[in-house]
Amino acid sequence: MPKVRTKDIMDKFKMELISGEEGINRPITTSDLSRPGLEIAGYFAYYPKERVQILGKTELSFFEKLGRFEKEERMAGLCSPITPAILVSREMDIPQELVDASEKTGVPVLRSNMKTTRLSSHLTNFLESRLAPTTAVHGVLVDIYGVGVLIIGKSGVGKSETALELVKRGHRLVADDCVEIRQEDQNTLIGNAPELIEHLLEIRGLGIIDVMTLFGAGAVRSNKRITLVIDLETWDPKKQYDRLGLEEETMKIIDTDIQKLTVPVRPGRNLAVIIEVAAMNFRLKRMGLNAAEQFTTKLADVIEEGDR
């Protein structure tokens, strides 16, 4: 199923449908927009007909200077069988030639009251968000001190219980069990919960609880950028775990590498506090303060002084 149709942008930006109603469900496959100034001037060699077309004051004022035959020819060229929509900004009058060509080919013509630049900006942001590559990850997403922490691990390791403790400590739940992730930019991953399980948390022995009802609206949020991954795994006595924090491991989600920390789980370890401190330490590192590197530098200095 197409992620975005022409009807979606019409409803989102409250546009007026002028003509071409039969094409209102055409799919939009790219977030790139086009302002067809060259095409109105008669140059169609590289016409990006698969894009949403936006006609502003510049294009329509030039169009009015054309002859009747040229007007009909240019608008017929704009209305291709795969063009998702032609938008007219600033609530300007729609040329009759565009309406006629639109009705023949079923290309929707929509009118907006926004200025051309503002319409282009808002529409691009909307389409990039909706058309971004997506995936789903089994885990829990929590906003901890402004850091989007994705908690992953095998089923039953304690992800949801840890999330519940974090919520009790004042942090905000984004998603439990299934985290839908979209890549809005090359290094930007946004996570949210599927609509069916939004604000819900599953605790073995208790069942499903509604976090917003129990803890208030301040305990949840609808989406959050993911910047840190915490991998909970059962403690393996034979495995050597990083004790200094110098090793940086990453996890690839879609096309983005996210820093990952592996936290071993065993009785007596307070995972909520550990993850909370991991988020704070992550923020410090981004501010240029790395405790592990400072310790290593001091240790090297002490060793060097002892060798003298």
224 annotated as ligand-binding: no
263 annotated as ligand-binding: no
Q: What is the tens place of the pLDDT at every residue in 42-92?
A: 999 999 999 999 999 999 999 999 999 999 999 999 999 999 999 999 999
Which residues span the domain enclosing 13? 6-130
Tell me the DSSP string of 146-195.
TEEEEEEESTTSSHHHHHHHHHHTT-EEEESSEEEEEEEETTEEEEE--G
* Domain limit, last residue, from 107, 130, 153: 130
The encoded tokens of residue 257 equal 């590498």
Q: How many domains does the chain have?
A: 2
304 annotated as ligand-binding: no
154 annotated as ligand-binding: yes
Has residue 101 been placed in a domain? yes
Within 13 A of 182's CA, how many CA atoms are on the CB side?
A: 13
- Same domain? For 80 and 59 the reply is yes
Whole-angstrom CA distances from 33 to 87, 121, 124, 132 are 10, 10, 7, 15
Has residue 307 been placed in a domain? no
* Domain limit, last residue, from 82, 112, 130: 130
Is pLDDT of 285 > 70? yes
Has residue 301 been placed in a domain? no
CA distance 114 to 118: 6
- Same domain? For 113 and 226 the reply is no
Residue 58, domain CATH: 3.40.1390.20
- Same domain? For 173 and 232 the reply is yes
- The phi, psi pair for 266, rounded to 5°, reads -155, 160
- Same domain? For 252 and 107 the reply is no
Helix or strand or coil: residue 210? strand
pLDDT the model gives residue 170 = 93
* Domain limit, last residue, from 70, 95, 130: 130
Residue 267, classified by CB atoms within 10 Å of its CB into exposed (0-12), middle (13-18) or buried (19+), is exposed
The encoded tokens of residue 293 equal 């590197």
Q: What is the tens place of the pLDDT at every residue in 19-30?
A: 999 999 999 999
Q: Which residues are catalytic?
A: 138, 159, 177, 243
- Same domain? For 241 and 125 the reply is no
Residue with tokens 């942090």: 171
Has residue 305 been placed in a domain? no
Q: What is the tens place of the pLDDT at every residue in 124-137?
A: 999 988 898 899 99
- Same domain? For 125 and 259 the reply is no
Residue 184, domain CATH: 3.40.50.300
120 annotated as ligand-binding: no
Residues 140, 162 contacting (CB under 8 angstroms): yes
